[in-house]
Structure formats: C-alpha cells, structure tokens
C-alpha cells in the first residue's frame, strides 16, 4: 500500500515539475503555455487573447439577433454605420464562435470550454464577443453569457431585449428604447445608467445590486434583488411599479408616477422621494425604517416592524404603523 502511495506521489510531483519547467521556459521566451482539448483548457501565463474571428453580419430581414457566450464577455456597440460586425477575441487555441442565419434569426455562439488560468499576467484583455450594430437595427436582441459581463454602449432602439449574465454584471451606457426588456444577473450587479423606455421592464439580480440611474418610462416596472440593494432615480409608469429586495435597501431619488406603487424589503430600509399613484401605495420594511418625501394616493399601506416611519407629505387614507419604531407624518 505504501509503495502505491509513493508511486502516485512521484507521478503527481513529476507532472507538477514538468508543468513548472514548461512555464519557466515559455515565460523566458515571452510565450504562454496551454494544454487541453476542445472542451477543456489550462492556461499558464494567462493565455494570449487574440482575434479568432471577424465577420460581417447581414441583418436585412432579420427579426432576431441571438448572441450566446460562456466565460466570454459580450460587448455591444451601437454605431452610425450601416453594417453589423462580430469579433471574437479569445485564447489562441479556443474554437472560433459559430455564426448562423435561419428563419430570420442570426445566431452567434461561442463554444463552451472549461478553462483554468494559472499565473495570469494579462489583466487588460479578456475573452469576449464584440458586436457592432448599426443604429438603424430595430429587431429583437438577446445577449446572454454564463460567467462574463454584458455591456451595451451607445443609444439603441430594439424590439424585445434580453441582457443576461449568470455570474457577471450587466451594464447599459446609452439610452435604450425597446418593447419588453429583461435585464438579469444571478450573482452580479445590473446597472442601467441612462434613460430606458419600454413596454414591460423587468430588472433583477440574485446577489447583486440593481441601479436604474436614468428616467424609466414603461407600462409595467418590476425591479428585484435578493441579497442586494435597489436604487431607482425616476420613473413614469402607466401601470404598476414593484420594487423588492430581500436583504437590501430600496432607495429612490426623485419621483415615481404610476397607477400603483409597491416597495418592500425584509432586512433593509425603504427610502423614497416623491410618490404619486392613482391607486394603492404600499411601503413595507420588516427590519428597517421607511422614509418618503411625499406619498400622494387615494390609499396607502405603510408599515415597519422594527424601524421608524417618516413621511413628510401624506395624503389619502390607509394605515401607517410601526411595531417597535416611531411614526411621524406631515411634518
């Protein structure tokens, strides 16, 4: 038994020694060293990120652009040109992305690969899909990555829009006009940094914060974070506004106008600006305070279990109650 353990140890350390020697040699030559196959790869030195594929996309008659990645980032740039382009930057021995056109849908997909980067020295460039779209393109779009980030740059006018990452952040740096919008991250933040106009806008993060920094205009708005905070600047919503955080705060800077407004958190505070609704305004915190500059509606339900309540201007009828905190309104 001991001989077997010794033999295995010798084999393991021999492999480690060979890998270290390979790393030293390739580093001395200014190169990177990678081992692996089509679906598995170990990079020593970080791996060089290079352009694997560049292709012009024909979007005439296209109703849907579907872009999928795994560990790669997705960067979307809206340009003044009249042609779309995809560029795939990745490790030198990775498979180039696949591009297909079927039934009015153009699909761009980067192949899945389990990648381990050891002794990474490349901090500036990451594997990514860069998509250039002309500003005239107004079809449906879906940009989804597993462990990368999604960033849309430039003002865009799209149809149904999906921006999604499982373990990375989602960001928009330009104004966005679309039909239905779904921006989602499981373990990263979602930042819509400019104005958003849509029919139904749904923004969510499981373990990150959500920021809507511009003016949001839509028919229905739903913003949710499980373990992060929710930050809203300004909203004009024809229907209902639903803001929810399980273990983070909900903050609103300016004003919300909607048919109904709900802001609810379990273990954070609710801090609102001016709220105007045709129907019910519902503000609730289980273990935090509730504050608002103004609550104007025919009916309201405002409650905190273990925090104070401060509403500077309160109109309509309803309930304002704190179990273990003070209540102050119209001051």
- Structure confidence by residue, pLDDT tens digits, 106-145: 999 997 655 555 544 444 578 999 999 999 999 999 999 9
Query: Do 65 and 8 share a structural domain?
Result: no
Residue 55 lies in a domain: no
Q: What pLDDT, on the 0 to 100 scale, is given for residue 331? A: 92
Query: Do 249 and 211 share a structural domain?
Result: yes
Query: Cα(158)–Cα(143) distance, rounded to whole angstroms?
Result: 12
How would you classify the pairing of strands 64-69 and 114-118? unpaired
Task: Look over the chain and give the mean of its residue pLDDT values, rounded to a whole number.
Answer: 88
How would you classify the pairing of strands 84-91 and 49-57? antiparallel
Mean pLDDT of all residues in 211-217:
97
Name the helix (H) or strand (E) containing 190: strand 190-192
pLDDT band for position 11 (cuts 50, 70, 90): low
Mean pLDDT of all residues in 77-87:
92
Choose between 48 and 33: higher pLDDT: 48
Count of domains in the chain?
2
Mean pLDDT of all residues in 162-184:
97
Mean pLDDT of all residues in 47-69:
92
Query: Do 174 and 27 share a structural domain?
Result: no
Query: Do 270 and 184 share a structural domain?
Result: yes
Query: Cα(236)–Cα(279) distance, rounded to whole angstroms?
Result: 15
Question: Using an 8 Å Cβ cutoff, are 241 and 260 in contact?
Answer: yes
Question: Using an 8 Å Cβ cutoff, are 168 and 188 in contact?
Answer: yes
Mean pLDDT of all residues in 185-203:
97
Query: Do 152 and 10 share a structural domain?
Result: no
Query: Do 151 and 287 share a structural domain?
Result: yes
Residue 40 lies in a domain: no
Mean pLDDT of all residues in 87-107:
93
Query: Do 75 and 18 share a structural domain?
Result: no
Residue 146 lies in a domain: yes
Q: What pLDDT, on the 0 to 100 scale, is given for residue 125? A: 75
Q: What pLDDT, on the 0 to 100 scale, is given for residue 7? A: 60
Write the burial class of residue 253 (CB in 10 Å: 0-12 exposed, 13-18 middle, 19+ buried): middle
Counting other chains too, the contacts that 231-235 makes at CB distance below 8 Å and 24 or more residues apart are 232/256
Boundaries of domain holding 167: 61-88+101-110+129-329
Residue 226 lies in a domain: yes
> pLDDT tens, 240-293?
999 999 999 999 989 999 999 999 999 999 999 999 999 999 999 999 999 999
pTM of the model: 0.84
Residue 26 lies in a domain: yes
Q: What pLDDT, on the 0 to 100 scale, is given for residue 26? A: 47
Strand order in the sheet with 33-36: 33-36, 40-44, 114-118
Query: Do 319 and 206 share a structural domain?
Result: yes
Residue 47 lies in a domain: no
Residue 17 lies in a domain: yes
Query: Do 244 and 170 share a structural domain?
Result: yes
Question: Using an 8 Å Cβ cutoff, are 50 and 92 in contact?
Answer: yes
Percent share of the chain, pLDDT over 70: 82
pLDDT band for position 23 (cuts 50, 70, 90): low
Query: Do 133 and 26 share a structural domain?
Result: no
Query: Do 314 and 254 share a structural domain?
Result: yes
> pLDDT tens, 141-153?
999 999 999 999 9
Query: Do 213 and 274 share a structural domain?
Result: yes
Residue 49 lies in a domain: no
Mean pLDDT of all residues in 33-50:
56
Q: Which residues contact 325 (CB under 8 A, 6 or more apart)?
A: 289, 304, 306, 307, 308, 309
């Amino acid at each position: 038994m001991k001989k077997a353990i010794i033999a295995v140890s010798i084999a393991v350390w021999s492999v480690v020694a060979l890998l270290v020697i390979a790393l030293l040699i390739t580093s001395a030559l200014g190169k990177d060293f990678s081992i692996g196959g089509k679906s598995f790869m170990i990079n020593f030195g970080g791996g060089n990120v290079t352009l694997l594929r560049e292709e012009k996309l024909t979007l005439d008659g296209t109703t849907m652009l579907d872009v999928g990645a795994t560990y790669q980032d997705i960067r979307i740039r809206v340009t003044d040109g009249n042609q779309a382009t995809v560029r795939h930057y990745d490790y030198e021995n990775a498979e180039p992305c696949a591009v297909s056109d079927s039934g009015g849908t153009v699909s761009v997909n980067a192949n899945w690969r389990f990648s381990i980067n050891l002794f990474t020295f490349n901090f500036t460039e990451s594997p990514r899909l860069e998509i250039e779209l002309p500003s005239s393109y107004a079809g449906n779009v879906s940009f989804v990555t597993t462990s990368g980030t999604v960033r849309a740059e430039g003002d865009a006018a799209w149809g149904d829009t999906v921006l999604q990452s499982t373990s990375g952040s989602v960001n928009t740096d330009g104004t966005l006009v679309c039909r239905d919008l779904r921006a989602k991250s499981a373990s990263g933040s979602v930042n819509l940094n400019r104005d958003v106009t849509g029919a139904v806008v749904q923004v969510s993060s499981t373990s990150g914060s959500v920021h809507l920094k511009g003016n949001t205009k839509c028919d229905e708005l739903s913003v949710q974070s499980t373990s992060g905070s929710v930050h809203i600047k300004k909203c004009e919503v024809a229907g209902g506004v639903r803001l929810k955080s399980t273990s983070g705060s909900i903050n609103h800077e300016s004003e919300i106008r909607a048919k109904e407004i709900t802001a609810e958190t379990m273990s954070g505070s609710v801090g609102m600006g001016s709220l105007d609704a045709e129907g019910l305004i519902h503000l609730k915190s289980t273990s935090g305070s509730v504050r608002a500059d103004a609550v104007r509606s025919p009916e309201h339900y405002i409650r905190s279990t273990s925090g104070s309540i401060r509403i500077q201007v309160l109109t309509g009828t309803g309930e304002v109650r704190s179990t273990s905190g003070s209540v102050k309104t119209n001051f």
